[in-house]
Structure formats: C-alpha cells, structure tokens
Amino acid sequence: MERLPLFGHRILDLTTGWSGAYGTRLLADMGAEVIKVEALNDGDSLRASMGRSDSAGAMFNHVNRNKYGCGLDLGWPEGRGLFLRLVALSDVVVEDFGAPVAAELGLSYEAFRSARADAILVSLSTQGTGVTHDDPVAGVAAAAAVGLALWHRRRTGEGQKVEVAQWETMVSLMGEYVLGHSMNGRPPEPIGNRHSFMAPHGSYRCAGDDQRVAIAVKDDQQFAALCRVMGRPELAAEPRFADVVSRYHNQDELDGIVEEWTRQHSPEAVTESLQAVGVAAAPVLNAPALFDDPHLRARGFWESVSHPEAGTWDLDGVPWRLSRSPAHIRLPAPRFGEHNEYVLRGLLGLSEGDVRELVEAGIVGRPST
C-alpha cells in the first residue's frame, strides 16, 4: 500500500468551529499530520457539543479524528513565540478566528511569513472577514484550497494566503437559481422535493411508521418501467402522463398514484424492485437505519473507534476511496493537550523542565488524563 497523499505535510489547526475543523479532518484523513492547538481557557467550543464538556462530545469526535492535540495559550507572548516556531516546521496554518481576533493575537499572514517564507495560511470566515460560521461545505472548500495551495507552492516555491468565505461558498452552490434570476428577472419559486424537469420525483410514504422512499424518474423509458412495477402499465400511454411535460403538469395526481402503491410496501422492497428496472430509488433513512444500512456495512464505511473518554463506537469513514492509497481512521480525537510531549519536546526540542515551567505559568495546558 502506498503512502497517503498528504503524508509528510504538517498542518497547524487553530479552528474552533465546525467548518474549519471538518476541513482539517479531511486533510488528516488523507495523511497530513494535523496538530490541533487549543487555548487553555477558551479552547474548541465543540468539546462541549452534545452536552459534554470533554473529548466525549459527539461533534468534537466527529471532526477531530486523526489529529494530534496541544494545549498552548497564544494570548501570551511566549505562547505565540512557540507557535511561530511550529509554523517554521509546518506547511499550512488553518484558522477561523476572524480578522479582528487574529490581529489582536499578532497572528497575521505576515507574522507567519516571518517564520516561514513560503507559509500557507487558510482563513475561514462568513463573508471573507469577521467571525466564522459553522458549515461543513466551507470545510470541504478549505480542504480543496489547501491542496491547491500546496500544489502551487510545489510548482513555484511560493506560499500564499487563502480566504474561504462560508457565505460565498454556499452562494456558489446556488448558482443555477441566482443565474435564473439574473437571466429571467424573477426569483425562482420553492419546489420542495420536486425537480425542475423530472416527474415523478419526490419522497413517498411507505408501509410502516414514518417510512419513506425517494424516487426519481428522468425519462419516458423509466416512467414506463415504474408503471410496470406498480402493476399499472397503461398509465404510460395516458395523455396526462405520456411525456415529461405532461407528467410535470400533472404531478399532484401522479404523486398520489405513486404513493398509493408505495404505501403497500416497505422502502427496501420499493427500492429493490425499482433499481432492478433502472429507476433511481432509495430508502429515506434516519440515523439508526444508516448504521444498519447493508450497503454502507458491506462497503466498510463505518469504522470502529476507541477513545479513552468516549468509549468504543462506530464513526463514518473517509468519504472517498483511492485504490492505491486507501485511508482509514488512525487516531481518535485527541484529549486536551494529549500530545504536548510530542509537539513541545519532540518537535520544538524543549526540555522537561521547560515544559513544566510553561505549564505552571499557564502558557501550556496540562494534558487531561
């Protein structure tokens, strides 16, 4: 098995929200050595997620796996000095402080460049400046931006500052609707589970308590197949359903017919019968059903993770698979300051006495046990 794609790259993670932490998780999944640096008294807010005030928080564990943890207070000059020494040994810094906080801490891009001339800084925020807004979509964009910046540096030898604005990221995913308004001069109307041209298309009730199945029919051939499976082949020839345009204009009636059939069967039975004839269909699953989903289990998507505080449980795996260098969960989310020894003594070369003094001064956090 080959090394993971980002093996040999070190990333300093200063994020405290969902978007940034998820982005650095993706980088850690791909083999980067991600060191999560947390303040002593105002660390990652996600540690308190799901009503827990330690590493047992569900959200914290979800977005901080495969990372190392170091408790270091950047509010002290000594703490900032140690952090800049880490910058000199790292490839990328990812932060979601917002411009005012970063300026107060003296952690500007220029400061990072003074430590390493080709440093890469990735800043996440709501609109390009200000306070970060938690959103995993921006995290995915940040991870992609890191890869592009590393590739640029490999070609040119230059680092750079990267801004990932959550708002702009989200607007870019709504481009067709914004463009529709720009082209047509009117805002698009909400369509719920329906589609701009496919019909039938929606979520339909099935047999059982709160059971549903999603069905999407894109052309006449698929609609004819759906009609045969429902035992209503004659529907495909009726003028009101004979083509895409007719079906689109008669969706209310058509949805009623489809749901009359789906309510007699389980979501799994509907899915199996429709997929067998080339019609897109899938059960609508809640969290327990996702854990038991045979497809995800067969793919090995869920991986067992053991954490000294949170126990042993299943966690979603890496969302993509590389045939030559597949990634897996290597480390659970770190306890606070868990890897101080590695970061401060192993990387920075501090003595045991130096670390003890920093802990006593409140600059380095005491690892949780």
pLDDT tens per residue across span 96-146: 887 677 777 878 899 999 999 999 999 988 654 444 444 788 899 999 999
* 27 & 77 share domain: yes
Do residues 134 and 26 both lie within one domain? yes
Taking Cα atoms as reference points, which of 279, 283, 284, 282 lies closest to residue 217?
A: 279
Q: Are residues 15 and 140 in the same domain?
A: yes
Domain final position from 284, 308, 343: 284
- Record the pTM: 0.86
Q: Domain boundary residue among 249, 284, 319?
A: 284
Residue 182 lies in a domain: no
pLDDT at 65 over 90: yes
Asked whether residue 110 is domain-assigned, the answer is yes
As for how many domains the chain has, the answer is: 2
Q: Is residue 60 part of a domain?
A: yes
User: 284, 310, 330 — which closes off a domain?
Assistant: 284
pLDDT of residue 55: 60
Query: Is the domain of 26 the same as that of 159?
Result: yes
The verdict on 279 and 351 lying in the same domain is no
- Compute the average pLDDT of residues 336-347: 95
Q: Which of 336, 339, 348, 319 is nearest to 27 (CA)?
A: 319
HSE-up (13 A, CA, CB side) for residue 176: 2
Same domain as 166, residue 63:
yes
Q: Is 291 inside a domain boundary?
A: no
Are 37 and 365 spatial neighbours (Cβ–Cβ below 8 Å)?
A: no
Per DSSP, what are the bridge partners of residue 165? 125
Structure-model confidence comparison of residues 171 and 26, the more confident one: 26
254 and 309 both lie in a single domain: no
Phi, psi of 134 (to 5 degrees): -70, 115
User: Which range, of 43-47, 75-79, 357-361, averages the lowest pLDDT?
Assistant: 43-47
Domain membership of residue 37 (yes or no) is yes
Average pLDDT, the chain: 89
Backbone φ and ψ of 349, nearest 5°: 75, 20
- 165/242 same-domain check: no
Which domain range does residue 80 map to?
10-172+298-360
Q: Does 303 lie in the same domain as 231? A: no
- Tell me which of 65-74, 242-251, 285-294 is least confident: 285-294
| Lowest-confidence pick of 52-61, 214-223, 310-319 | 52-61
pLDDT at 53 exceeding the cut of 90: no
Task: Provide the pLDDT for residue 186.
Answer: 78
Burial class (CB in 10 A: 0-12, 13-18, 19+), 206: buried
CB 96 within 8 A of CB 125: yes
